[in-house]
Amino acid sequence: MTVQELPGAGASHRFTPPAWSPRTDAAPLLPDPEPYRVLGTPAADGLDPELMRRCYAELVRGRRYNAQATALTKQGRLAVYPSTVGQEACEIAAAMVLEERDWLFPSYRDTLAAVARGLDPVQALTLLRGDWHTGYDPREHRIAPLSTPLATQLPHAVGLAHAARLRGDDVVALAMVGDGGTSEGDFHEAMNFAAVWQAPVVFLVQNNGFAISVPLAKQTAAPTLAHKAVGYGMPGRLVDGNDIAAMHEVLSEAVRRARAGGGPTMIEAVTYRMEAHTNADDATRYRSDAEVEAWKAHDPVALLERELTARGLLDAEGIQVAKDAADAMAAALRDGMNADPVLDPMDLFAHVYEEQTDRLREQAEMLRAELEAGNE
């Protein structure tokens, strides 16, 4: 077949496109020029004191959790820990805005979000301790396995939310990813699917300044990451990730919108990773102490504490109560991690297929014989 013979070619090839109607809602899709803030602004007058006190308790607990987990790496109890010190407001707000039936899709850094959602800290840290890849039943907690390959969990979140919608459930999926992860193909594909399907998903990008050593400027040339949302046809919100009141408000709004059938939202939380990428990283190679120092003045825990104290919503006693609860959590975590996990090497073969193959049975027998010989 030549081009002339192609249907629609030749004289009648002049194609008249159907009337094109531009989206009328393009402008509202655009993110704010500055990260949205509540704490320290007049908007803080409208804060719900009860909610903010809960946020405060969670923040203090989250900070303590980070400190305890880092201490556990020094004692050799945890193989590795990617800290979220400085990012606690994002982690906690993400967990707080979800209903029980909703799903959280965390990245490897987001164990705190899982803990804030109610997961036992020891279970959240199993992957990083090294005894099993996922230390909990994802269905029971509605927390997907912590994803180590970056951005790969995002299409999963879209699929799950879409399926829930097809089944008539008003379930929302909230997926977390770092600034670096937004460069991955999976990020783009997930955003596009979500928008085309109008899936009830919230994408939370924690822009903590670096992907290991690579700063945001080498990751993207977009004015903000939130701008990326516009191209897919979903709103992009730019938020101060250290302001838990702003995070809670923007995330709740996105979850509400998703649940009501309004489609996905992408939120860029501007925050900062105060500690190294993991305990194995040397952050002095790629950033200055001065930069880290500057961010200390914008600490998420201190920000809320200042606001609440100034408004008379928090006193020394309230601070002490939060601290005691955090200490109790840390003590339980320490005890849980100090107990040596009891591992059964036969588990290696238990979960590869529903029914064990002959080959795996043979290999299991080989290992069993080795273990028995070793125990003699």
Ligand X SMILES: Cc1ncc(C[n+]2csc(CCOP(=O)(O)OP(=O)(O)O)c2C)c(N)n1
Residues tagged active-site = 273, 277, 286
Residue 208 interacts, among another protein, ligand X, none and using kind-specific CB cut-offs from 5 to 8 Å, with ligand X
Q: Which residue has the tokens 């938020």?
A: 239
Does position 185 bind another protein by CB under 8 A? yes
- Phi first, then psi, for residue 41 (nearest 5°) are -120, 170
Q: How far is CA 41 from CA 37, 46, 238, 243, 246, in A?
A: 7, 10, 16, 11, 11
CA angle 234, 239, 242 (to 5 degrees): 145
Residue 346 and residue 334: Cα distance in Å, rounded? 28
Candidate residues 37, 51, 183, 327; the one interacting with another protein per rule CB under 8 A: 183
Nearer to ligand X by C-beta: 181 or 263?
Answer: 181
Q: Which residue stretches of the chain are H helix?
A: 26-29, 49-74, 88-96, 111-116, 121-129, 138-141, 153-166, 185-197, 228-232, 244-259, 289-296, 300-310, 316-338, 347-350, 358-375
Size of the site for ligand X (CB under 6 A): 14
Site string for ligand X, 106-145 (x = CB under 6 A): ---x------------------------------------
Does position 150 bind ligand X by CB under 6 A? yes
Does position 66 bind ligand X by CB under 6 A? no
Count CA within 13 A, CB hemisphere, residue 328.
8
* 1-9, 233-241, 258-266, 281-289 -> range binding another protein (CB under 8 A): 281-289
Candidate residues 13, 133, 256, 296; the one interacting with another protein per rule CB under 8 A: 133
Candidate residues 86, 106, 178, 200; the one interacting with ligand X per rule CB under 6 A: 178
Candidate residues 179, 243, 268, 299; the one interacting with ligand X per rule CB under 6 A: 179
Does position 320 bind another protein by CB under 8 A? no
Alpha carbon 154 to chain centroid, angstroms: 10
Does position 338 bind another protein by CB under 8 A? no
What are 277's two structure tokens? 């990428």
Considering the complex, what minimum distance in angstroms separates the CB of residue 213 from another protein? 4
Nearer to ligand X by C-beta: 75 or 148?
Answer: 148
Residue 181 and residue 187: Cα distance in Å, rounded? 7
Residue closest to ligand X, measured at CB: 178
Q: Which residues pair with 214 in a beta bridge?
A: 211
Cβ neighbours for 25, distance < 8 A, ≥ 6 positions apart: none
Cβ neighbours for 7, distance < 8 A, ≥ 6 positions apart: none
Size of the site for another protein (CB under 8 A): 46
Does position 285 bind another protein by CB under 8 A? yes
Does position 280 bind ligand X by CB under 6 A? no
- Are the C-beta atoms of 122 and 333 separated by less than 8 Å? yes
Considering the complex, what minimum distance in angstroms separates the CB of residue 210 from ligand X? 6
Site string for ligand X, 315-334 (x = CB under 6 A): --------------------
Q: Which 38-97 positions form the footprint of another protein (CB under 8 A)?
A: 79-80
Considering the complex, what minimum distance in angstroms separates the CB of residue 353 from another protein? 10
Nearer to ligand X by C-beta: 162 or 273?
Answer: 273
Cβ neighbours for 294, distance < 8 A, ≥ 6 positions apart: none
Considering the complex, what minimum distance in angstroms separates the CB of residue 187 from another protein? 9
Q: Which residue has the tokens 């290991």?
A: 212
Considering the complex, what minimum distance in angstroms separates the CB of residue 87 from ligand X? 8
What are 10's two structure tokens? 């030749």
**Strand, coil or helix: what is 373?**
helix
Residue ranges in contact with ligand X by CB under 6 A: 109, 148-150, 178-181, 208, 210-212, 273, 277
Residue ranges in contact with another protein by CB under 8 A: 79-80, 108, 127-133, 148-150, 152, 180-181, 183-186, 211-214, 218-220, 280-282, 285-286, 341, 343, 345, 347-349, 352, 357, 359-360, 363, 367, 370-371
